[in-house]
Amino acid sequence: MPEAARRFAALLRAEQFEESVELFAPPLRAAVSGEQLRLAWAAEVAGRGGCAAVEEPVAEAGSARARIPVVCAEGGFTVVTSAGADGLLQGLRFDAQGGAAWEPPGYVDEDRFTECDVVVGTGPLAVPGTLTLPRGEGPWPAVVLLSGGGAFDRDESSGANKPLKDLAWGLASRQVAVLRFDKVTFAHPDRLRPDFTMADEYVPHAVAAVRLLRQRPEVAPDRIHLLGHSMGGKAAPRIAAADPSIAGLVMLAADTQPMHEAAVRVARHLARLAPGPAADAMVATLVRQAAAVADPGLTPDAPPESLPLGFSASYWLDLRGYDPAAAAAGLECPMLILQGGRDYQVTVADDLPGWRRALAGRPEVSVRVHEHLDHLFFAGSGPSTPADYARPGHVDPAVVDEVASWLTRHETP
């Protein structure tokens, strides 16, 4: 058992976040400050009704990783750490459902497709991916999957849930070729420049993925689409502008509200779920940081700890200058925009109107709200909370069917 994990658990228990950072190796300390750790912790526990206990770490056999179970009033989550040879923590993430295994959803037929490993991009920032191909002759319509904001793997894994794997296998079972890949923030977090932006995060690898698909004989080269979830959907119009050969866009829970404003809205929502001094402090900090993003005087050298979510000033300046709805309006390709009615992160009230206004009167654009689905497009009832994400689930079959039908029936303009 890494001693650092044991000490880190004790500090989390005492909510001593500044002291916790002293256990981080320099690269992790540069990426995550004590204030950012406090905010992330407050958001996780607030969304689950408050923290009841931080249990002792459990070492993973054969690795330097340890899992710290956190028990909350409504479910829990796991803090996953990894330690280096120097005994300092090299990696840290919050896992919504520690240890549970993903199971294929019922709408998947594994006899109808095959998979192979691929490499997306070139050079030191190339990332691994998976190409899922329907069995048969083809050529098939194809889609590149883009995960949401954060350091996600190709499946958009969160505990037992893998929504992009649900989509990949579900769509391939319905005769759509699918390419998904690890985000560069997941594969190479130590190689990113200080001025790394959202454009850097999405555009180069998405364009490379489209190029890779176009070279496959099993894929129809004029029927390659993008499917983006959350921030991946927000980035999709930007990618399509960079590669006009893209045949169409599918955007799932894609946000149009400026992200610094959305961060405050979500923080207030979580604070209402578990009110108290920690939640109030979380909201106050994000309000102050969001104001810094909105300040016309923001410069690239502003310290990340003064801004929301630990993103650099360059990242926020790039986001601030990008209007996804306006970018979509400048495209001529077909689009399918889906929204979950129970989503509190990207909402019908705050984000969908931006798409509707920008794309009004466009017959090749379809917009639909699935009232009973949350941000992951998992089914449920009542108000959605972060605790919902800890329960194993799958992308709703109606969404998979709708996307597959749209991808296989529409013609390119």
Average pLDDT over residues 230-237: 98
- 51 with 188, same domain: the answer is no
pLDDT at 86: 84
Does any domain span residue 105?
no
- Report the domain count for the chain: 3
CATH number at residue 135: 3.40.50.1820
pLDDT digits (tens, 9 = 90+) for 46-92: 778 888 899 999 987 776 788 899 998 887 888 988 887 788 898 88
Same domain, 207 and 283: no
Q: Are residues 352 and 226 in the same domain?
A: yes
> 396 with 370: CB under 8 angstroms?
yes
What distances in angstroms separate CA 134 from CA 161, 171, 325, one per listed residue? 23, 9, 33
**Residue 159 sits in the same domain as residue 270:** no
Strand partners, 127: 120
Same domain flag for 71 and 114 = no
**100: its two tokens:** 């549970």
The model's pLDDT over 364-397, given as tens digits with 9 standing for 90+, comes to 999 999 999 999 999 999 888 887 887 889 999 9
Residues 386, 389, 390, 391: is their CA dihedral positive or negative? positive
Residue 314 forms part of a structural domain: no
Q: Is 222 left (phi over 0), alpha (psi -120 to 50) or beta?
A: alpha
Query: Is the same domain home to 30 and 91?
Result: yes
**Are 80 and 208 in the same domain?**
no
Asked if residue 250 and residue 269 are part of one domain, the reply reads no
Residue 311 falls inside a structural domain: no
Asked if residue 211 and residue 123 are part of one domain, the reply reads: yes
- At residue 99 the predicted structure's pLDDT band, cuts being 50, 70 and 90, is low
In this prediction the pTM is 0.86
- Structural domain boundaries enclosing 270: 259-303
| 203 plus 251 within the same structural domain | yes
203 and 141, same structural domain? yes
Task: From 30, 213, 218, select the one nearest 130 (Cα to Cα).
Answer: 213
Residue 309 lies in a domain: no
| CATH (domain of 53) | 3.10.450.50
Neighbours of 355 (CB within 10 A): 23
For residue 384, is it within any domain? Answer: yes
Q: Is 208 part of any domain?
A: yes
Span of 142-151, 254-263, 274-283 with lowest mean pLDDT? 274-283
Bridge-partner residues for 69, per DSSP? Answer: 78
Residue 367 lies in a domain: yes
Q: Are residues 250 and 269 in the same domain?
A: no
Please report whether residue 104 resides in a domain.
no
Q: How high is the pLDDT of residue 346?
A: 97
Q: Where among 40, 68, 95 does a domain terminate?
A: 95
pLDDT tens digits, one per residue of 290-319: 999 999 999 999 998 899 987 899 999 999
